[in-house]
Structure 1
Amino acid sequence: MELTTGAILRRITQTPLSAAAHKLATIILDGIAWKDGYNGLERGTAAFTLGSLADKMGVPRQHLNLLLAELASSALGLFRSKPHGKFAPWLFRFGAVDNLEPEPNHVSATDDTSLSSESKNKMMFVGKIEIRAVSNVHRTPWGDLIKAAKTALPCWNVDTQVIWDAFRSFNQARGNAEVPAGYLLGFMRKWRAKPNQATAGEIRGAAGHNPTPQETEIIDMIKAAPITNRHFHASDLCRAIGSAAYAGRVLAISAQYGCSTFTATLVVHGQAVLEGEITR
């Protein structure tokens, strides 16, 4: 039997579970990919961090683990794995419903198959991408797709704008003015940047373009404040100088170097570390 939203939802409602576990199962169902490649996932798989699931459920992490254990031991057979490293999202599947038996007395209505039939729920990396058209990814149709697809890919913790800048630079270095949209997903799947290399300037260098003096200056400042600690650095610096001053610095750096807000934020953090305003 072909998996559908309605079929799995019926199995969820027919399975004896606590009310909270039923809610968690439907949240996971809502995130399932119904087409191979959607969100960078295999068909039938959903990706979440435990923190995001706890927030959606409104429960502590300890309670969430109990609910996940309940689903795992139930007839749904929920199982999870983390194949992309410690800090990547967990991948979830309803193992017991991957091979559902036919249900002759229950015919799925049209709305049961909405997730697998509507184009908005499929990976829409189709068409052509003009490499030199727009530098701001959020002014293109590709921004939301990159954000959705990267959740289970090696670049899951890299800013969407940085991925876009890297992709454009990679193709510009090869003289490509236009490429199939599928190349973007392939580029994300092969991402190999280290945490402190996740800037447009460094990726340009890796793609065959020697960094300019300005790019080198940006890289050196960013290295003083590793990307993995950026949230702590932001909080520390806001406490030290105030939120308004912090936002002003980011805007000033973005205007000075012509870089994305994400890159400018890392530069501000690096400058603050170098000047002793915050610690590394």
Structure 2
Amino acid sequence: MEPTTGLILRRITQTNLSVAAHKLATLILDAIAWKDGYNGLSRGTAAFTLSALAEKMGVSRQYLSVLLSELETSELQLERAKPNGKFAPWIFRFSAFDEESETHDLVSGEGDTSLSRENNNKTIFSGLIEITPSSNVFQTSWAELIKAAKATLPCWNIDTQVIWDRFLAFNRSRGNGRVPAGFLLGFMRRWRNSPGTTPRPEVKPSQKRVADPKERELLRQMQAAPTANRQFHASDLCRLIGHAAYEARVLDVIRKFGCQRFSATLAVHGQAVLAGEISR
């Protein structure tokens, strides 16, 4: 079945997650592009910086990492990657909904002369671009599309006019007089900054403090053991105290803090690290 917003939303509500993780999954779902080229994204992906995502969630960056790990290990199988450089946004996708069939190429052909197509109110690059000696991009129909698409691409911090000028120069050097609009998106995706260009660091918002003492204590315990090592921690602790005792500790944390099992498991590992029972 072709994945849709409704299908993924139903799966999110049916998945055993903490309330905060449900909210995070919904935020990511809301930003997913369902057409290749929408905001420069591939179909089925969303883009956020971690600082922006933490601000939307109203949580600290540390707790956001815990929530992302919860989604990654859940049935939703959240994946994230940073293919466009250190300071570019993270790209998110729910891999549980991968289709075996190949995704159709949505770049327009030369016979298509419309500026854009609309599908579910999301715009993709299509049509033809005339390669002129020089022009002001803001006097063309392409400025808004470039501004929207570059937000998640390697050229995210480059002026729109500079992108346009380089694109025209690139095609003039190859003798192109008219090219499909998809060429512009491809050009932006393959953008390379000049040597010595200093990327603009992302602005980090002030981290929101957790007011509830119980939540603060739970977070402290969870942070004591790195999430990436959770399987090793579980194995080491079960070997040390036995599976029954391990399960008892997890249930005790759930009762004490009212959290989901995933958070409780991390807290149990953190307690063991703090007590010196297992290594970090």
Q: Does the pair score TM above 0.5? A: yes
Q: Secondary structure at the match of 1:228?
A: coil
Q: Is structure 2 residue 33 aligned with structure 1 residue 33?
A: yes
Compared with structure 1, are the counterparts of its residues 149 and 77 closer, same or farther at alpha carbon in structure 2 (3 Å cutoff)? same
How far apart are the structure 2 equivalents of 1:77 and 1:129? 39
Compared with structure 1, are the counterparts of its residues 119 and 139 closer, same or farther at alpha carbon in structure 2 (3 Å cutoff)? farther
- Structure 1 unaligned segments of length 5 or more: list them: 101-116, 197-225, 233-280
Task: Report the equivalent of 1:118.
Answer: 119
Task: Report the equivalent of 1:191.
Answer: 191
Q: Is structure 2 residue 98 aligned with structure 1 residue 127?
A: no
Aligned pairs for 1:139-154 within 5 A: 139-154=139-154
Task: Report the equivalent of 2:87.
Answer: 87
How far apart are the structure 2 equivalents of 1:176 and 1:83? 29
Task: Report the equivalent of 2:5.
Answer: 5
How far apart are the structure 2 equivalents of 1:45 and 1:84? 14
Q: CA deviation at 1:177?
A: 4.9
How far apart are the structure 2 equivalents of 1:76 and 1:97? 8
Q: CA deviation at 1:34?
A: 1.4
**TM-score normalized by structure 2?**
0.57
Q: Is structure 2 residue 76 aligned with structure 1 residue 96?
A: no
Aligned pairs for 1:173-192 within 5 A: 173=173, 176-192=176-192
Compared with structure 1, are the counterparts of its residues 230 and 85 closer, same or farther at alpha carbon in structure 2 (3 Å cutoff)? closer
CA deviation map 1:182-219 (0-9, x unaligned):
221122233223264xxxxxxxxxxxxxxxxxxxxxxx
**Of the candidates 185, 199, 220, which is equivalent to residue 228 of structure 1?**
199
CA deviation map 1:112-165 (0-9, x unaligned):
xxxxx8253141x21222344984434433223223323443323322222112
**Equivalenced residues, count:** 187
How far apart are the structure 2 equivalents of 1:80 and 1:175? 39
Compared with structure 1, are the counterparts of its residues 51 and 40 closer, same or farther at alpha carbon in structure 2 (3 Å cutoff)? same
Task: Report the equivalent of 2:17.
Answer: 17
- Structure 2 unaligned segments of length 5 or more: list them: 101-117, 204-280
Report if aligned partners of 2:33, 2:42 keep a CA contact under 8 Å in 1.
yes
Compared with structure 1, are the counterparts of its residues 231 and 118 closer, same or farther at alpha carbon in structure 2 (3 Å cutoff)? closer
**TM-score normalized by structure 1?**
0.57
Report if aligned partners of 2:50, 2:90 keep a CA contact under 8 Å in 1.
yes
Q: Is structure 2 residue 171 aligned with structure 1 residue 171?
A: yes
Query: Aligned residues: percent identity?
Result: 65
Task: Report the equivalent of 1:50.
Answer: 50
Structure with the bigger percentage of helix: 1
Aligned residue type for 2:199: T
How far apart are the structure 2 equivalents of 1:67 and 1:162? 38
Compared with structure 1, are the counterparts of its residues 42 and 231 closer, same or farther at alpha carbon in structure 2 (3 Å cutoff)? closer
Report if aligned partners of 1:5, 1:29 keep a CA contact under 8 Å in 2.
yes
